[in-house]
Each structure stands twice: as structure tokens, then as C-alpha cells.
Amino acid sequence: MAISKSKTRENIPEILQRDNPILRQISKEVPVEKITSDEIQSVIADMKAALLREGDGVGIAAPQIGVSLRIFVVAHEAVAMASGDRDLDSKSLALKKEARPEDDLVFINPVITKKSKETEFFEEGCLSVRYAYGKIKRHKKVTLVAYDETGKKTTRGASGLLAEIFQHEVDHLNGTLFIDNAKDIQEIPPESLTDSSL
């Protein structure tokens, strides 16, 4: 396992940027019996902390903190939005951050088992491709099978924003960045940002 040595004073890993070769690797599966180990739980804690630090992030994959394992985390606020529990859209997600990383959802060894025939273009950004945004075609609905951080196997259907996040994060685990397939990519300076990054 390759863990990033670059950490801040708070001991939170830095998020790797687009030119780092780790982001282009196909991540390895986590042995199910190791999910509850201190090593894997530490990786998950680092991912949650790194995601919390980024005010506009809705999801993060392990390779983004230098760990080539098939794990991603979705911010609990994004799940609430996708479930219709909040009157927010992705453009106002930067206002969302509450310090409740224990509620973030963890997906280990995720596999998308179903995809809708219907697709649509989503506007995306990425914490590893800072300040670049573009339109990318995604399936409107997907079904994901994965293990949670306790080692329990789960199946979750998703549509809209959550389906978009699932597809974006699984791409990370396969060494793909959204800019590989996006159209109309624009660089937007940080001072004018209001959108969220996956």
C-alpha cells in the first residue's frame, strides 16, 4: 500500500493533484478480513479528515490521498441532498460542512452492478483537478455493491447527484480522472467558486 508522506501540521494527508502517477493506477481490493484492521480504519479516518477540510468536496477516493486501495467516502451532506432531505443543490454545497465525519458513507471494493440506459450531462469538478470544471456524460441511475467500514456488504441504488458521485469515485479507483472524458472544460479561479468538487 502506498500512503502519501505529505501531511499537514494536523496530520491530514494532502490531496494529490492530476499529475501524480498514483491517480492513474488501478487500485487494489481490500481483503475483507482486513476492513476492520487498524491500518484500513486509519486510511478511512484520513480520507474523512481530508474531505472535511475541503469545503466544497462531496466525495473522495483513497488514491486521492496516495493510497491505492478500492475505497471511497461520500460526505453525509451529499447523501442528505440526494435523498431530498435538504433544500440544497450542488452549487450551494460549499456551505454544507458540519463536523460530523462519522456520518460520512464509506464504500470498500465497490462494484457498479447496474446502470440505467438513460444518461445525462453533469457539471463536475474534482479535488485532484483543482479549479477545472467540465461537462461529463453519466448514467442517471446506478446500483452499487460494496462493503461498509464495519465489513458489512451492502447494495445501494442511486440517482442524480449520488449516482454521479458513485461513478466519479469508481472512476478514480480505475485510474480515470473526469477530465479524461469531460467536454467544455474551464478553469475557474478559486475566488469565484460556488460549485462542489467530487
Q: Write the pLDDT tens digit of every residue in 3-26.
A: 333 444 368 999 999 999 999 999
Q: Which of 77, 169, 187, 191 is catalytic?
A: 169
Please name each of the domains of the chain with its CATH number. 21-192 (3.90.45.10)
Long-range interactions of 157-163: CB distance < 8 A, separation 24+: 157/114, 158/82, 159/82, 160/82, 161/58, 161/78, 161/81, 161/82, 161/90, 162/74, 162/78, 162/79, 162/82, 162/83, 163/138, 163/139
Which pTM was predicted? 0.84
Answer yes or no: 169 catalytic. yes
pLDDT at 11: 86
pLDDT digits (tens, 9 = 90+) for 79-130: 777 665 444 444 444 445 455 667 899 999 999 999 999 999 999 999 999 9
* CA separation for the pair 66, 3 (Å, rounded): 5
- For the chain, percent helix, then strand, then coil, each to nearest 5? 30, 30, 40
pLDDT at 198: 60
Sign of CA dihedral 20, 21, 27, 28: negative
